[in-house]
């Protein structure tokens, strides 16, 4: 039979058949005198088997390994691994759906709620209406939460909790207010150095270590290592950006 007939018999496209040839999954048939491929029943059986394994979720590389073992021993092993992968995906999906159910049950759904539950609670306590600096800090925390794994998310939240205590929270609001006052100021503003030192002092040491571990190395260790500062600077005035830069330098020295 011709390639079109084989493809129709197996329920795939002729392009898929040619791709399987290229991947080594389907043996090349003999060619007739006119140059056309001539397929037999064996090709149809192999093609149908490849399609069934692909529908089970095996990659083409895994299918090739399975087909190389006619006794099926490798197939059982690969299918077992696939079943374990699907079980993990199912568990993760169930967790996501449970989180979505929690979000949908909220009457006042805020964008911050899309982060992990612990971080959402934390961001709610760190609100400072009208402060652009506070909003930027919250955005950076939400970004950190999204990039972290589950265990690290929980650790970050626990390390941040002391900053939500009444005294520390009041100090944080004062720091945000001082940062807001530097909007439009230049990097040589005399308030910059003192604010940078106070900001670095406000951050608990363990939390500072986590923050620094997620930042690139300094420019003296890795060229261009502080590109994130350039990105943050686009949201800040020159004076505010200098405060952040100096505060990070203090944290690195302190570490």
Which CATH number do you get for residue 56?
1.10.1660.10
Least confident of 128-132, 171-175, 207-211: 207-211
Q: Are residues 156 and 235 in the same domain?
A: yes
Q: Are residues 232 and 149 in the same domain?
A: yes
The conformational region for residue 71 under phi > 0 = left, psi -120 to 50 = alpha, else beta, is alpha
Q: What's the average model confidence in pLDDT over 52-69?
A: 81
Q: Are 244 and 229 in contact (CB under 8 A)?
A: yes
Q: Are residues 141 and 20 in the same domain?
A: no
In a domain, 161, yes or no: yes
Query: What's the pLDDT tens digit per position in 120-151?
Result: 888 888 888 889 999 888 888 887 787 777 78
What would the DSSP string read from start to end of 128-169? Answer: -TT-HHHHHHHHHHHHHHHHS-HHHHHHHHHHHGGGGSHHHH
Q: Are residues 131 and 235 in the same domain?
A: yes
Q: Are residues 163 and 225 in the same domain?
A: yes
Tally of domains within the chain: 2
From 44, 211, 48, select the one nearest 137 (Cα to Cα): 211
Q: Are residues 241 and 181 in the same domain?
A: yes
Q: Are residues 161 and 58 in the same domain?
A: no
């Amino acid at each position: 039979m011709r390639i079109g007939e084989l493809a129709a018999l197996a329920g795939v496209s002729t392009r898929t058949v040619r791709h399987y040839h290229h991947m080594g999954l389907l043996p090349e048939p003999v060619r007739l005198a006119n140059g056309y491929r001539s397929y037999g029943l064996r090709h149809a059986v192999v093609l149908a088997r490849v399609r069934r394994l692909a529908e089970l979720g095996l990659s083409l590389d895994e299918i090739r390994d399975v087909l190389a073992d006619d006794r099926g021993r490798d197939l059982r092993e690969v299918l077992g691994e696939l079943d374990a992968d699907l079980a993990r995906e199912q568990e993760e999906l169930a967790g996501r759906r449970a989180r979505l159910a929690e979000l949908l049950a909220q009457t006042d759904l805020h964008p911050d709620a899309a982060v992990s539950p612990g971080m959402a609670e934390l961001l709610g306590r760190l609100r400072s209406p009208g402060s652009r600096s506070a909003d930027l800090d919250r955005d950076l925390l939400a970004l950190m939460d999204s990039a972290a794994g589950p265990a690290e998310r929980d650790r970050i939240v626990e390390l941040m909790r002391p900053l939500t205590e009444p005294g520390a929270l009041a100090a944080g609001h004062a720091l945000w207010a001082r940062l807001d006052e530097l909007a439009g100021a230049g990097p040589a503003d005399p308030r910059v150095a003192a604010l940078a030192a106070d900001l670095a002092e406000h951050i608990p040491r363990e939390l500072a270590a986590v923050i620094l571990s997620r930042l690139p190395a300094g420019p003296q260790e890795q060229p261009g290592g502080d590109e994130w500062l350039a990105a943050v600077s686009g949201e800040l005035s020159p004076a505010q950006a200098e405060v952040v830069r100096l505060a990070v330098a203090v944290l690195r020295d302190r570490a």
